[in-house]
Amino acid sequence: MKILAAVSRSTVARVLNCIQVLVPKPHVAVVSLDEEAALASKAMGVEFIGGPLPEKIYAIDEFKEYDVGIAALDNDSINISVVKALRSIGIPLVISLLNNSANRDLLVKEGADYVIDIDSYVSQNIAASLSMDKWVYVKPLSIVNLTLAVVRLARRSILGVKLGELKSALRSKSIHLMAIDRLGKVISDDSVELNAGDIILLTGIESEVYEASMDVEKLFRRHEETLARSFAESLRASTRPYG
């Protein structure tokens, strides 16, 4: 396999480390304008071609024989122009990094087969670390439409929702449900009530995961309504006339 990687100084090591572990070892050519990329390529025993992108891709005839093209630059406009170039010279598989999620459609339209969305990954990880009682959706892999929905319980822990109830609510869905307690252990007992700091994870295809998370939301709302009703009734029962 022959891989052509267009990289910048900040992505060169990351890309080459991934490629180096492939078996059988592919032939790799790195194209970059950055001298740091030349240094890293040499250290890793990889062919380096210096020059501006995407012009260099059009200029070298030999690149037409490559099997895979990788656009891994810090700038989406150059990633898009590199993807266009890789496509136009007939490279069958094109992978691109995406630095701003809003440019995903454009990158796909210009010919990227797989888009690795760094922006979404970073921002959703930050959101997941900070959010409580709110769903966060993460796409861990670009080769399948796999989505991970995560919610960390805080105030909702008082509702006393059990793992078994979640499983029942999601029985008809083709998704994988997992609950992890605050110590990082998987909760396996269905009768256990979820506590503050516990995490609910849903994994599956994007649309189904979204629907499943809505079903879990409905379950929580039902419990909230029940709690609110019983609280209102307890107030009514304890109210006494003055005097």
Partner 1 sequence: MVFALKSRGKVSLIIYLATEKGVRNVKHIYKSIEDSISVVDTYIVYYGLGAFKQLMDIPAFHSEPPYCRGKAILSGVNLVTSPVIVVINGDTSCFSIDSISNAVAKVLSGETLLHLSKPQTNTDFTNVYRSFLQDILGELGITQSMLYPSYSIIVGLRKFFTTTPYSMWSIEQLAAINLREEALVVENNSCIDSTIDYVKGFEKTFVKDLARKAVEIALQRNTISRNRAEEYLKRIEAA
Instruction: Kindly state the smallest distance separating residue 109's Cβ from partner 1, in Å.
Output: 7
Q: Is 159 in the site for partner 1 (CB under 8 A)?
A: no
Q: How far apart are CA 127 and CA 121, in angstroms?
A: 10
* Nearer Cβ to partner 1 (109/221): 109
Contacts of 209 by beta carbon, 8 Å cutoff, 6+ apart: 137, 147, 148, 149, 175, 202, 203
8 A C-beta contact, residue 216 and residue 202: yes
Q: Is 11 in the site for partner 1 (CB under 8 A)?
A: no
Among 16, 69, 76, 150, binds partner 1 (CB under 8 A): 76
Stretch of 43-51, 73-81, 121-129, 218-226 contacting partner 1, by CB under 8 A: 73-81
Report the relative pairing of strands 146-152 and 199-205 from DSSP bridges: antiparallel
Q: Is 102 in the site for partner 1 (CB under 8 A)?
A: yes
Instruction: Kindly state the smallest distance separating residue 119's Cβ from partner 1, in Å.
Output: 9
Contacts of 67 by beta carbon, 8 Å cutoff, 6+ apart: 1, 2, 3, 91, 92, 93
Q: Is 52 in the site for partner 1 (CB under 8 A)?
A: yes
Q: How far apart are CA 8 and CA 71, in angstroms?
A: 9
Residues making contact with partner 1 (CB under 8 A): 52, 75-78, 80-81, 99-100, 102-103, 106, 109
